[in-house]
Amino acid sequence: MRKKSLFLMLVIGNILTIQAQEKQEYTTMNPFFQAYNTPFNVPPFDKIKNEHFKPAILEGIAKHQAEIDAIANNPQPATFENTILAMENAGELLANVNTVFSNLNSANTNKEIQNIAKETAPNLSAHRDNIYLNEKLFARVKSLWNQKESLGLNLEQAKILDNAYKDFVRSGANLSPADKETLRKINGTLSLTSLKYGQNILSETNGYELVVADKKDLAGLPKGIVDAAAADAKAKGKDGKWVFTLSNSSVMPFLQYSSNRELRKQIWNSYQTRANHDDAADNKKNAVELANLRGQKARLLGYTSHATYVLEESMAKKPENVNKLLNDLWKPALEMAKNEAADIQKMMAKDGIKGAVQPYDWRYYTEKIRKERFDLDEEELKPYFSLDQVRKGVFQVTENLYGIQIKPLSNVPTYHEDVTAWEVTEKDGMHLGVLYMDFHPRESKRGGAWMTSYRSQKTVDGKRVAPVVSIVCNFTKPTATTPALLTFDEVSTFFHEFGHALHGLLSNVTYRSLAGTSVPRDFVELPSQIMENWAAEPEVLKIYAKHYKTGEVIPEALVNKLKKAGTFDQGFTTTEYLAASLLDLEYHSQTKDITVDTNAFEKAAMTKIGLIPSIIPRYRSTYFSHIFSGGYSSGYYSYIWSGVLDTDAFEAFKTTTLFNPEKAKLFRENVLEKGGTEDPMVLYKRFRGAEPSIEPLLRKRGLDKKQEPVKKLKG
């Protein structure tokens, strides 16, 4: 009997030893469970595999929860250090893995990653609720908030305390137990539905091809676009044909140049009905469910609508202020768009086409009118906008303004062969951060363009921890015979996203929750949109707009044409954008559940504002990822709100010198470096000396003669 017990103990001991060895090996093999040991401590993309994500996320949640429990159950009275600062510094593993995972799910996804996202979304949602619905933790935060005036906190400390208290209250900390349980269910469903909405758009976008087999059906398309379509066809095993897709760099040039109206109609209809086919990838129910759940959550928290809830923390403060701005712009923009439609109608009549202007006619005839009226063909511009030259221009503008140096890194791992890495330094060589750039479309990447972060800036023991940021775009790809040649719209997008990157890279705060782009949604677009202004300036064009074959600087005559055409088609551009912004607010201003499907809801909303049939909202309900899966719900208006800010801010340079060192220093110190440390309007006024005026925006868009302008933007 004794021998049997001894044998059993040996077996158990061996099993425990094997399990410990397996756990050690498993932990050692997962790069998230150890120091990165890479240059600049960037993520070790070359070592990270799909199977590493789920265990790291779950372990990250467990560790973070243990840290939170220790804070909540601390027997010592709450202090800033043992509660607010402890919360700020908790959850490092989860933050590390989640930033990599969520970014790859957008920029380089696959079925396995998408499945992991679905599997872990409920865990992440529940974990957030476990923090913000923790009564003991909230009691500690609230006790500090109640005595904040006597704690002797500095500006940033006071800000993260205030943010923490608001986050708890806005996350349901004051709700009854029953309402908290309801909130948990809403949050869990929101998380999964938003994820599914985004995956459906990617599936629909990747699932469509317009295959052209007859060369005559390519009539009107420039050689570069044809070559790109041939390369896409070859890559898809359709050599000798031409493939056009629903990525913007493919569908938009097709709509702009193809003289085959039937094919334009075909690809347009596929584009504007994405995720709207009553199949497994349909988003009509998802959009309504997301809007309704957000409304239910807002009402549960004591707000009249989701828009009221969101805008409380914005510069705009309330929906009435947003609607005022949008409606002030809507009337002159729509009037201009109607005039543009009349011009298109006349040109269509010359071509023998009867009937109303259709959305798939707009870009094609606008391009013809642009050429006739300004002698400007966008294809004439593209040879001067090679991606490499535009990149050099962006870097030079940044150096001229802020003295920043940017050099390539060859020893840094990246997540895809298309991605490049760069070190960003001060003029004296001091390291500021690492920048990734990912430019071209692929099936693993969602559409659009965005800036993101792999590590936010913070300060530890007086030493600045440098950020790691990335910009992701979907620019025209190079072909076998030409480099990537950008449209001017793509050039502007590059400048735009680089402005966001600067906001992250130049951040100089103490706490990571206040770093860089951690600002209200309607302020975050200021650093990006102001950069766009430099892109079109003649002085700047001469820096980077050089012919990719000859190196010739863009001719003055072409620059003048571009300038003269600056307000051309702004009726359409502004109207389609405002329509989408108003649609967003319509969804999220509802005070009770929506009972019709998105098609009916959208039609009623657009009829109410008088949108003409030849224009649709920039994003329709079933593929409006900004608001239904991208964090811009009740906030899509922010581009135009920030448009007021950026045009007013650029006047500070335009009326002095484009690279005014004093103004650049003020902008850097009061906007780019400050993150979310202070009220945005306070920061803006410190830079500009006054609140912004709407007049520069009206002038820029050619709308200044259409209405009595609003003098100031009030927040």
452, amino acid identity: T
Judging by beta carbons within 10 Å of its beta carbon (0-12, 13-18, 19+), is residue 445 exposed, middle or buried? Answer: buried
Nearest to 617 by CA among 249, 271, 248, 259: 271
Nearest to 140 by CA among 173, 170, 183: 173
Phi, then psi, of 212 in degrees rounded to 5: -105, 120
Neighbours of 10 (CB within 10 A): 10
Q: How far from 6 is each of 12, 13, 15, 496, 575, CA to CA, in Å?
A: 10, 10, 14, 71, 82
Nearest to 330 by CA among 576, 696, 584: 576
Q: Which helix (H) or strand (E) holds 599?
A: helix 598-609
Neighbours of 273 (CB within 10 A): 14
Phi, then psi, of 150 in degrees rounded to 5: -105, 5
Give the number of C-alpha atoms closer than 13 A to the C-alpha of residue 337, restricted to the C-beta side.
26
Give the number of C-alpha atoms closer than 13 A to the C-alpha of residue 182, restricted to the C-beta side.
14
Whether the CB-CB separation of 694 and 710 falls below 8 Å is answered with yes
Whether the CB-CB separation of 447 and 438 falls below 8 Å is answered with no
Which residue has 């440098």 as its token pair? 466
Judging by beta carbons within 10 Å of its beta carbon (0-12, 13-18, 19+), is residue 234 exposed, middle or buried? Answer: middle
Q: How far apart are CA 587 and CA 606, in angstroms?
A: 12
What is residue 668's DSSP assignment? I
DSSP calls for 687-715: HHSSPPPSHHHHHHTT-TTSS--------
Q: Is 497 a residue of the active site?
A: yes
Whether the CB-CB separation of 520 and 314 falls below 8 Å is answered with yes
CA 216 to chain centre: 39
Q: How far apart are CA 410 and CA 408, in angstroms?
A: 7
Catalytic residue among 423, 497, 576, 586: 497
Judging by beta carbons within 10 Å of its beta carbon (0-12, 13-18, 19+), is residue 393 exposed, middle or buried? Answer: buried
For residue 23, give both structure tokens. 């756990």
Q: How far from 390 is each of 337, 395, 426, CA to CA, in Å?
A: 31, 9, 21
- Our CA angle for 165, 167, 169, nearest 5°, is 70
Rounded-to-5 percentages of helix, strand, coil across the chain:
60, 5, 35
Q: How far apart are CA 682 and CA 404, in angstroms?
A: 26
Which residue has 């240059």 as its token pair? 39
Q: How far apart are CA 158 and CA 366, in angstroms?
A: 53
Q: How far apart are CA 140 and CA 83, in angstroms?
A: 7
Nearest to 482 by CA among 179, 669, 668, 223: 223
Q: Which residues are catalytic?
A: 497
